[in-house]
């Protein structure tokens, strides 16, 4: 046990903590759950306590938004302590059935949604999609993301990107059905062993493509490739980098007016975790006729939608208002007609809350690529 | 003297520091058997008086002409023993030290191996000692004047002390007035002295002192030379005002078309000024300056029919044709008192400093509570009809300090106490205000500090332990997202005003001073002192001293104390009138020098120059070392492609035999 303890203390630099409270102070979910991440950093120093601490239900309330790590003045990553505790539970086999199923699905089918691998590229039907071949040079290798590939509500995101790239005439390629979950959420759910395996396999697979750049559509894939895949050869981009570049180089012009009041919600995995704030705003700013609004809580002070950190498979038991509900209320108060996002999970959580609040009449949630599709026609 | 080496070896126990790990007697016995060694002894502390006496007596009685001391690092006691030799009439450079402490006993555990290594080290020192040559120590005169860079409280105090001791001081201040940050403060902790009241008399003294030549709105452009003999070039920037004629009446500023349009540096943007301005009412000198970047006439060549300021000046002091003036002078010492920058709060975007008008920095709050500030000391936010007095006020400590995410790991030392002071002043001015201070630790270490902290708490200022993480807006209120870490409760505290206790940072233009004086920085990017404990105001460059926050964050008492220390160090140099220069310098063999000039490039002290020399009728360019500038670092010796440079006491002929004993071929 002593060795394990040392690794926990050392792995998470627990002794570097000065208990200032910025982590819990910044944690977005404290307004609706009992999670106090500072206390976990404090308490996990005690080896005896680890197993009991891992059993506490609030360990699963964390959305892995990373605010605690960004704010920590001593360079600690409190979020990783919670993921370490989740790992203890996963190792002991005591996890919710939804979590177990998602992990098994990643292992078997390469996606967490219990879908067959064979149908991964069904969204491409009737589209002219350029496919990348291993070994053949390609400028931009596009990584779709499981959620976008399978969710009928989100497939339009990938489809619009294809249309846009075709029109712009840039060199790109998609992968065949061997594209496999980036496993960002596998890490966040605490399945360290599976995550390491997926990183190894995916690195090998992706490096087979002679791609200069790997362009992820989801910020979750983007972030994990960028920060947790040390051996990837290609430069990692988010699609807003690429689309921003295309628009800036005038390879494509958005012609159709969209007379909307658009407010952009910063996805945590794009903004707080990777400091990508300007590109999505630049892209939205190119849409003719659109007026851009800003949340008071935007950019570095943006509010999490509660979609990350494995929360797609773990429900938080709280009667208090969801953060996504707070967010759509704020958007409505601003007078926005479109709540724009650049992340599949944000689409799902915010759209649910918009419907729960009954705001469908005056407002909609849209992925940036949905809007670009409309402005292209 | 007979040149045949007669060597004495002295092995030190250093209490148990050496003797615990190295067997002293066998080493001494071994040394006594080495060729040319006439005497070998050991003693508990060679550096003590009796220890040194042993050496002196042996030199006299045994006729020793080379001494080897096997003890600590030469950094510690080389000078001590050189003096011992000199006292016994021996050239002090006939000394060689074998470091058997730092490089032997302290780093080893095995007694047998450590003893064997000590033997080798002693033998190698003896090998070199045989080949040592006498060196001559030269002295140069010291120019009896000091340059003080920076006119804040540190520079002011240092300048006054030196001037009062009867020596000339040149003070160079970048801004139009002396006074520095202290002039911007309202009250000072913990005594609540009015900052301006205690500072302005000193500012006036600096300007009127017969021994001080004050150059404001000026910058040091170049410093060459060496300790005792620095040549300084200063640029006195054009003020576009004749200093002789200006009476400081201020009519020009009243007439300026940009009156109240330009953010005042002194009021950190809380107040506004004209394009021709006096930084603050008590400014010294009380002379106006035209801001060349703002003045309409200077930037566009036109300001109405003619500039109203110049027209209105009753003493015709305006001169828009004025040019910068270069001044050159010589000094013996330099004091760097360039101060600090306040941390830029927009680098912590989570606190919304750039987004909200009611998030202020502490320095802005100082101007707001100051009677000489833009609101006359009233704490009012908003303008005109929307003006209001904040009731719920929160201070956030450690903004930009103790924070790796912004690259500042250090504590800024003053914020805990200035926060307590500002909270006290707020409480005094708005008695029904709810004032809370969010903190992670309270560091009240100075004289009277803890007592002041006690007083402020009992006045009703609430201390809540937790460092806020985010600020956003809800209606008219600011919401502070923070955890009360003592109750483990996450709070959303709604307030009217947030004051950020910003830390201190090195000046953004710190590089300029580094380049001028070849100074080093410590890990925190402030200037590095020669030794953190025993030489806190000295630098690696002889004759250059540090004072105030340029060396690290400090409060006013510590700044003044350090300034007096720097003045004292400079005075030691000036009053002795002479300075010894390094004897173990590099010398160039001009007959073999290949004129490549590489040594000139690598010399960190600028001590080598290329000169013309006559080589058998041909004029060639050769390297020559300035003996006064050379520090004996050896970089040129190692770098010379033709082996034409040798360093005295470290010549190849001396150190190669030394290395050979250690087994290096």
Residues of chain A found within 8 Å of residue B503, distances taken between Cβ atoms:
none
Q: Report the CATH number at residue A292.
A: 3.40.50
Q: Is A318 on the interface with B (CB under 8 A)?
A: no
pLDDT at site B518: 85
- Rounded to a whole number of angstroms, the distance between the first and last alpha carbons of chain A is 63
Same domain for A243 and A112, yes or no, is yes
**Who among A20, A25, A70 is closest to B481 (CB)?**
A25
CB atoms A71 and B405 under 8 Å: yes
State how many domains chain A has: 3
Alpha helices in chain A (DSSP H): 2-11, 22-26, 37-43, 50-54, 67-71, 78-92, 97-109, 146-150, 155-168, 184-188, 192-208, 219-228, 239-248, 278-285, 323-334, 344-357, 368-376
Q: Are residues A149 and A193 in the same domain?
A: yes
A299 reaches B (C-beta below 8 A): yes
Domain boundaries, chain B: 7-129, 145-237+324-340+506-578, 251-312, 344-505, 586-648
Q: What residues in A contact B498, CB-CB < 8 Å?
A: none
pLDDT the model gives residue B1: 46
Task: Find the residue in B nearest to A18 (Cα).
Answer: B440
Question: Which residues does chain A have within 8 Å of residue B483's beta carbon, measured at their own beta carbons?
Answer: 21, 24-25, 30, 36, 38
CA gyration radius, chain A: 21
Distance from CA of B629 to the nearest CA of A (A): 43
Contact: B403, A73; criterion CB under 8 Å: yes
Write out pLDDT tens, residues B558-584.
Answer: 999 999 999 999 999 999 999 988 899
Boundary residue ending a domain (A187, A222, A247)? A247
Average confidence (pLDDT) over B338-342 = 98
Q: Can you give the pLDDT at residue A45?
A: 95
Q: How many helices (H) and strands (E) does chain A have?
A: 17, 8
Q: Which of A25, A27, A296 sits opposite B466 (nearest CB)?
A: A25
Mean pLDDT of A143-155: 97
A36:B484 CB<8 A:
no
- Flag whether residue A67 sits within 8 Å of chain B, measured between CB atoms: yes
Chain A interface includes B233 (CB < 8 A): no
Query: Domain check: are A123 and A85 in the same one?
Result: no
| ipTM value for the complex | 0.92
What does B423-434 look like in DSSP terms, one character per residue?
Answer: HHHHHHHSTT-E
- Chain B interface mutation, best of A301, A318, A330, A333, highest count of B Cβ atoms under 10 Å: A301
Q: Is the pLDDT reported for residue A54 higher than 90?
A: yes
- Which of B349, B440, B488 shows the shortest C-beta gap to A301? B349
Same-domain pairing of A86 and A30:
yes
Do A104 and A82 reside in the same domain of the chain? no
More confident residue, A236 or B540: A236
Query: Which residues are within 8 A (CB) of B375 and not within 5 positions of it... i.e. 6 or more apart?
Result: B270, B368
Domain edge (last residue) among A92, A125, A153: A92
Mean pLDDT value of segment B78-90: 96
B485: contact with A, CB 8 A cutoff = yes
Provide, as residue numbers in chain B, all residues whose Cβ is less than 8 Å from the Cβ of A70. 405
**Looking at residue B252, what is its pLDDT?**
97
Using one digit for the tens of pLDDT, what is the confidence trace for A299-308?
999 999 999 9
Structural domain of A206: 98-247
Give whole-number Cα distances, A71 to A24, B184, B410, in Å.
10, 31, 17
Closest-CA residue of B relative to A73 is: B403
Choose among B352, B404, B468: nearest Cβ to A25.
Answer: B468
**A-chain residues within 8 Å CB-CB of B355?**
296
CB contact under 8 A, B470 and A75: no
The answer to whether residues A296 and A89 touch, using CB atoms and an 8 Å cutoff, is no
Q: Is the Cβ of A25 closer than 8 Å to some Cβ of chain B?
A: yes
Instruction: Write the burial class of residue A38 (CB in 10 Å: 0-12 exposed, 13-18 middle, 19+ buried).
Output: buried
Q: Contact at 8 Å (CB) between A310 and A189?
A: yes
Q: Which of B566, B525, B559, B564 is nearest to B543 (CA)?
A: B566
**Optimal mutation site among A21, A69, A303, interface B, most CBs of chain B within 10 A:** A21
> In the predicted model, is pLDDT for residue A5 greater than 70?
no
User: What are B6-64's pLDDT values in tens digits?
Assistant: 999 999 999 999 999 999 999 999 999 999 999 999 999 999 999 999 999 999 999 99
CATH of domain B344-505: 3.50.50.60
User: Mutate which of A22, A32, A79, A275 to test chain B, going by most B C-beta atoms within 10 A?
Assistant: A22
Do A192 and A234 belong together in one domain?
Answer: yes
Q: Please say if the pLDDT value at position B293 is more than 70.
A: yes
Q: How far apart are CA B192 and CA B185, in angstroms?
A: 11
Other Cβ atoms within 10 Å of B293 Cβ, number: 8
User: Which of B465, B482, B488 lies at the smallest CB-CB distance from A36?
Assistant: B488
The residue behind tokens 């993921």 is: A83
* Residue located via tokens 């508990």: B44
Best CA proximity match to B616, nearest among B638, B637, B640, B591? B591
pLDDT band at A1 (very low <50, low <70, confident <90, very high): very low
| pLDDT tens profile B198-212 | 999 999 999 999 999
For A180-196, give one letter per residue: b (16+ CB within 10 A) or e: bbbbbbbbbbbbbebbe
> Helix axis angle, A278-285 relative to A239-248, nearest 10°?
40
Radius of gyration for chain B, computed over Cα atoms and rounded to the nearest angstrom: 31
pLDDT at position B213, please?
A: 98
Fold match between domain B145-237+324-340+506-578 and domain B344-505: yes
Chain B 391-430, residues with CB within 8 Å of chain A CB atoms: 398, 402-405
What values do phi and psi take at B312, rounded to 5? -80, -20
Q: What architecture (CATH level 2) is domain B586-648?
A: 2-Layer Sandwich (3.30)
pLDDT, chain A, mean: 96
Whether residue B472 and residue A297 make contact (CB cut-off 8 A), yes or no, is: yes
Does residue A36 sit at the B interface (CB-CB below 8 Å)? yes
> ∠ at Cα B438 (A82, B445), nearest 5°?
110
Q: A71 and B350: CB-CB below 8 Å?
A: yes
Looking at the structure, tell me whether residues A148 and A269 fall in a common domain.
Answer: no
Give yes or no for B623 touching A (CB within 8 A).
no
Question: Quick one: which of B615, B621, B563, B624 has its CA closest to B591?
Answer: B615
| Contact status of B34 with chain A (Cβ, < 8 Å) | no
Q: Do B485 and A297 touch (CB under 8 A)?
A: no
Contact status of A71 with chain B (Cβ, < 8 Å):
yes
CATH no. for residue A49?
A: 1.10.1060.10
- Position of tokens 């505290």? B493
CA distance A345 to chain B (A): 24
Sign of CA dihedral A29, A31, A34, A37: positive
Q: Are A336 and A298 in contact (CB under 8 A)?
A: no
The alpha-carbon gap from B438 to the nearest alpha carbon of chain A, in Å, equals 10
Q: Which residue of B has its CA nearest to A302?
A: B350
**CA-based nearest distance B381→chain A, Å:** 20
How many distinct helices (H) and strands (E) make up chain B? Answer: 17, 34
Burial bucket for residue A27 (CB in 10 Å: 0-12, 13-18, 19+) = buried
| pLDDT tens by residue, B613-654 | 988 889 999 999 998 889 899 999 999 999 999 999 999 999
Do A45 and A132 have their domain in common? no
CATH topology of domain B7-129: Rossmann fold (3.40.50)
B494 and chain A in contact, CB less than 8 A: no
Hey, which residues does B219 pair with through a beta bridge? Answer: B235
Report the pLDDT value the prediction gives residue A6, as an integer from 0 to 100: 57
Pair (A261, A223) in one structural domain: no
Q: What residues in A contact B441, CB-CB < 8 Å?
A: 18
pLDDT attached to residue A7: 81
Q: In whole angstroms, what is the distance from residue A346 CA to residue A366 CA? A: 10
Give the tens place of pLDDT for each residue, B93-107. Answer: 999 999 999 999 999
So what's the pLDDT on residue B282?
A: 95
CB-nearest to B467 from A22, A39, A75 is A22
Q: Are residues A266 and A332 in the same domain?
A: yes
Asked if B490 has any chain A CB less than 8 Å from its own CB, the reply is yes
Q: Does the N-terminal peptide bond of residue B285 adopt cis geometry, omega within 30 degrees of 0?
A: yes
The mean pLDDT of A78-102, rounded to a whole number, is 95
Could you tell me if A30 lies within 8 Å of chain B, comparing CB atoms? yes
CA contacts within 13 A on the Cβ side of B260: 3
Which residues in chain B have Cβ-Cβ distances shorter than 8 Å to A25?
466-470, 481-483, 490
Contact A39 B488 (CB under 8 A): yes
CB pairs under 8 A between A and B: 84
Residues 121-150 of A with CB under 8 A from B: none
pLDDT digits (tens, 9 = 90+) for A12-41: 999 999 999 999 999 999 999 999 999 999
- Please say whether the dihedral angle defined by the alpha carbons of residues B313, B315, B316 and B318, taken in this order, is positive or negative: negative
**At which of A70, A92, A114 does a domain end?**
A92
Question: Do both A236 and A353 map to the same domain?
Answer: no
A217-231, A340-354, B505-519, range with the lowest pLDDT? B505-519
Rounded to a whole number of angstroms, the distance from the CA of A356 to the nearest CA of chain B is 23
The pLDDT assigned to A163 comes to: 97
Q: List pLDDT tens digits, range B148-178.
A: 999 999 999 999 999 999 999 999 999 999 9
Shortest Cα distance from A68 to chain B (angstroms)? Answer: 9
Q: pLDDT band at B605, cuts 50/70/90?
A: confident
Which residues in A lie closer than 8 A to residue B490 (C-beta atoms)?
Answer: 24-25, 27, 30-31, 36
pLDDT tens-digit map of B120-153: 999 999 999 999 999 998 899 999 999 999 999 9
Cα nearest neighbour of A68 on chain B: B469
Q: Which of residues 343-362 of B touch A (CB under 8 A)?
A: 349-350, 352, 355
Q: For residue B70, which phi and psi values (nearest 5 degrees)?
A: -100, 100
Q: Taking 90 as the threshold, does the pLDDT of residue A80 lie above it?
A: yes
Pick the CATH number of B145-237+324-340+506-578 from 3.40.50.300, 3.40.50.1820, 3.50.50.60, 3.40.50.970: 3.50.50.60
Query: Is residue A109 domain-shared with residue A144, that is, in the same domain?
Result: yes
């Amino acid at each position: 046990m002593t060795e394990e303890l040392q690794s926990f203390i050392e792995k998470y630099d627990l002794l570097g903590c000065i208990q200032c409270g910025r982590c819990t102070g910044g944690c977005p979910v404290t307004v609706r759950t009992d999670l106090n991440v500072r206390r976990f950093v404090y308490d996990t120093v005690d080896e005896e306590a680890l197993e009991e601490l891992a059993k506490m239900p609030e360990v699963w309330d964390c959305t892995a938004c990373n605010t605690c790590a960004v704010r920590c003045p001593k360079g600690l990553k409190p979020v990783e302590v919670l993921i370490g505790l989740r790992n203890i539970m996963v190792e002991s086999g005591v996890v919710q059935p939804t979590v177990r199923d998602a992990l098994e699905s990643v292992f078997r089918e390469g996606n967490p949604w219990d879908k067959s691998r064979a149908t991964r590229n069904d969204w491409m039907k009737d589209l002219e999609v350029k496919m990348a071949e291993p070994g053949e040079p390609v400028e931009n290798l596009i990584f779709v993301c499981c959620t976008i590939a399978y969710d009928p509500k989100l497939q339009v995101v990938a489809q619009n990107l294809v249309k846009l790239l075709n029109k712009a005439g840039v060199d790109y390629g998609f992968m065949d059905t061997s594209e496999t979950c980036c496993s960002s959420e596998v890490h966040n759910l605490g399945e360290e062993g599976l995550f390491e395996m997926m990183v190894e396999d995916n690195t090998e697979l992706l490096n087979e493509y002679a791609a200069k750049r790997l362009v992820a559509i989801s910020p979750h894939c983007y972030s994990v490739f960028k920060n947790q895949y040390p051996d990837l050869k290609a430069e990692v981009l988010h699609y807003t980098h690429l689309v921003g570049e295309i628009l800036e180089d005038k390879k494509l012009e958005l012609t159709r007016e969209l007379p909307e009041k658009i407010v952009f919600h910063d996805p945590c995995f794009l903004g707080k975790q990777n400091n990508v704030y300007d590109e999505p705003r630049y892209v939205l700013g190119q849409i003719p006729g659109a007026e851009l609004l800003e949340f008071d809580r935007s950019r570095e002070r943006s509010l999490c939608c509660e979609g990350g950190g494995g929360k797609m498979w773990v429900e938080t038991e709280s009667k208090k208002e969801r953060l996504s509900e707070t967010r759509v209320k704020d958007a409505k108060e601003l007078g926005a007609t479109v709540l724009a996002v650049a992340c599949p999970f944000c689409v799902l959580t915010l759209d649910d809350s918009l419907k729960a609040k009954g705001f469908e009449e005056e407002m909609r949630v849209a992925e940036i690529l949905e809007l670009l599709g409309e402005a292209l026609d | 003297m007979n040149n045949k080496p007669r060597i004495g070896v002295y092995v030190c126990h250093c209490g148990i520091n050496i003797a615990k790990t190295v067997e002293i007697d066998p080493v001494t016995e071994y040394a006594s058997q080495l060729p040319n060694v006439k005497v070998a002894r050991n003693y508990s502390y060679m550096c003590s008086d009796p220890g040194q006496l042993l050496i002196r007596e042996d030199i006299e009685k045994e006729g020793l002409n080379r001494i080897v001391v096997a003890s600590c690092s030469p950094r510690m006691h080389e000078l001590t023993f050189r003096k011992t030799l000199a006292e016994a009439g021996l050239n002090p450079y006939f000394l060689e030290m074998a470091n058997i402490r730092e490089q032997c006993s302290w780093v080893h555990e095995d007694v047998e191996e450590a003893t064997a290594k000590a033997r080798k080290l002693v033998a190698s020192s003896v090998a070199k000692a045989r080949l040592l040559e006498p060196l001559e120590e030269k002295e140069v005169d010291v120019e009896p004047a000091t340059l003080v860079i920076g006119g804040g409280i540190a520079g002011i105090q240092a300048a006054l002390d030196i001037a009062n001791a009867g020596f000339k001081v040149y003070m160079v201040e970048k801004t139009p007035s002396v006074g520095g940050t202290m002039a911007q403060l309202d009250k000072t902790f913990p005594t609540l002295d009015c900052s301006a009241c205690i500072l302005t008399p000193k500012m006036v003294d600096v300007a009127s002192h017969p021994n001080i030549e004050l150059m404001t709105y000026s910058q040091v452009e170049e410093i060459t030379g060496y300790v005792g003999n620095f040549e300084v070039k200063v640029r006195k920037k054009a003020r576009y005002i004749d200093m002789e004629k200006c009476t400081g009446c201020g009519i020009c500023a009243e007439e300026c078309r940009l009156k109240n349009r330009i953010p005042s540096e002194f009021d950190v943007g809380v107040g506004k000024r004209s394009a021709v301005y006096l930084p603050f009412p008590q400014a010294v000198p009380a002379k106006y300056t035209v801001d060349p970047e703002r003045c309409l006439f200077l930037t566009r060549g036109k300001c109405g029919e003619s500039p109203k300021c110049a027209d209105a000046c009753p003493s015709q002091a305006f001169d828009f044709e004025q040019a910068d003036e270069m001044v050159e002078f010589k000094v013996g010492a330099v004091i760097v008192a360039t101060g600090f920058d306040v941390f830029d709060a927009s680098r912590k975007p989570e606190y919304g400093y750039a987004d909200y008008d009611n998030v202020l920095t502490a320095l802005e709050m100082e101007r707001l509570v100051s009677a000489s500030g833009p609101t006359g000391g009233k704490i009012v936010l908003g303008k005109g009809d929307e003006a209001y007095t904040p009731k719920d006020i929160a201070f956030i400590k450690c903004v930009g300090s103790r924070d790796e995410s912004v690259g500042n790991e250090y504590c800024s030392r003053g914020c805990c106490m200035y926060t307590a002071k500002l909270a006290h002043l707020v409480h005094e001015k708005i008695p029904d205000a709810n004032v809370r201070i969010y903190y992670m630790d309270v560091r009240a270490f100075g004289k009277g500090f803890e007592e002041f902290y006690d007083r402020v708490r009992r006045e009703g200022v609430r201390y809540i332990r937790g460092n806020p993480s985010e600020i956003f807006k809800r209606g008219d209120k600011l919401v502070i997202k923070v955890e009360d870490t003592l109750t483990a409760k996450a709070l959303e505290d709604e307030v009217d005003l947030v004051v950020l206790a910003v830390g201190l940072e090195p000046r953004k233009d710190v590089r300029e001073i580094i380049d001028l004086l070849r100074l080093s920085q410590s890990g925190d990017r402030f200037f590095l002192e020669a030794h953190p404990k025993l030489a806190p105001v000295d630098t690696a460059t002889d004759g250059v001293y540090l004072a105030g926050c340029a060396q690290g964050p400090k409060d006013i008492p510590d700044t003044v104390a350090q300034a007096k220390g720097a003045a004292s160090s400079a005075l030691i140099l000036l009053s002795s009138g002479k300075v010894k220069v390094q004897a173990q310098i590099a010398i160039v063999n001009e007959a073999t020098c290949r004129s490549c000039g590489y040594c000139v490039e690598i010399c960190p002290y600028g001590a080598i120059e290329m000169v013309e020399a006559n080589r058998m009728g041909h004029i060639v360019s050769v390297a020559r070392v300035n003996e006064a500038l050379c520090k004996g670092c050896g970089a040129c010796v190692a770098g010379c492609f033709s082996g034409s440079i040798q360093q005295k006491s470290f010549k190849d002929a001396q150190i190669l035999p030394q290395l050979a004993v250690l087994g290096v071929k």
